[in-house]
Amino acid sequence: MKNADKYNLIDIITMKTSKLILVALTLTVLAACGTKKEEKTVMKPYMKKYTNADFYKDGKIQPEIAKKAYLEMLESYGVPFSKTLAAGIWITDFNLGDFENVGMAGIFWMNDSTHGYFAHEIYLLPNQMIPQHAHVATTLPAKFESWRVVHGWCYNFGIGDPSVNLPTLPASQKDYITALNFVRQEVDEVVALKKIESPHFLLAGDNGAIVAEYATYHDGAGLRFANPNVVFVDMLSQK
C-alpha cells in the first residue's frame, strides 16, 4: 500500500469514528433532555395549606383567599386556569362558615335541558366536603350522575349499610349525614349514584380532589340539602 493510500484510509477511519462519536454524544444529550423533561412533569400531591383562620375575617368569607387556594391546587396538578375556567368558576361555603371543611368550587361546562345532559367539574380542597344532598324530580326528571376522579382522591358517600373505618367527617355536619356507605375513589375510577333521588356527598382526601361529573340535566329547583342552613351563593359573584 502506498503512503498516500495509507493516509487516506486513516483519514476515512478517523472521520467515521468522529461521526460515530458525534452521533453517540447527540443521543446522550437527547436522552438527558428527555429525562429532565419527564422529571418536570412529576407532580407532588397537593397538601392542605389553609384553615378557617385564613378564609374568614371578622366572620366574613374572604373570596380572594378561597380562590387563591384553589388556583394553587390547580397549578400543583398541572391544570391550566384558562379564560373559560376563569370566566365560569364559582366558589361557595354554602353559607355555613366552615369553608376549611365544607365548601367547593366548580364550573358547569354544559347544562342542557333540551337534550338532557350536564358536564361539571368539581374542585375540593384537602378534606373539604360537599354537604349531603339529593336531586329530586320537578317538572323535569331527577338528576342521575356519576363521578370520575381526575386528580387527587376522594371518599364517595351514598346509601347502604354504614361502612367501617369512617374517615373524619366535619363536626359542623354531624347532625345532617345519613349516607354513611362509602368507597375511596382514586384517579380515573368512576362511581355512579346508587339510586336516583338518593342522598350522597363527596369528601376530598388529604390531597384534595378534582372530579369530573357526568349527569343528566341539573335542575337547581330539584336540589335538596340535608342541612337546612345551606344557602348556595357564589362568593365571587354574590349570586
pLDDT tens across 12-54, in order? 445 555 555 454 555 554 555 554 444 445 567 899 999 999 9
Give the pLDDT confidence score for residue 224 in this predicted structure: 98
Q: How far does Cα 210 stand from its chain's mean position? A: 1
The stretch 64-90 carries a mean pLDDT of 97
pLDDT tens across 154-165, in order? 999 999 999 999
Residue 134 predicted with pLDDT over 80: yes
Q: Are 100 and 50 in contact (CB under 8 A)?
A: yes
Q: Of 15-29, 103-117, 183-197, 207-221, which gets the smallest average pLDDT?
A: 15-29
Q: How many whole angstroms separate alpha carbon 149 and alpha carbon 90?
A: 19
Identify the burial level of 32 via C-beta atoms within 10 angstroms of its C-beta, where 0-12 means exposed, 13-18 middle and 19 or more buried: exposed
Give the pLDDT confidence score for residue 34 in this predicted structure: 54
All 3 cell numbers of residue 236? Answer: 365571587
Percent of all residues in the chain with a pLDDT value above 90, rounded to a whole number: 79
Identify the burial level of 102 via C-beta atoms within 10 angstroms of its C-beta, where 0-12 means exposed, 13-18 middle and 19 or more buried: buried
All 3 cell numbers of residue 127? Answer: 378534606
Residue 194 predicted with pLDDT over 50: yes
Give the pLDDT confidence score for residue 44 in this predicted structure: 74
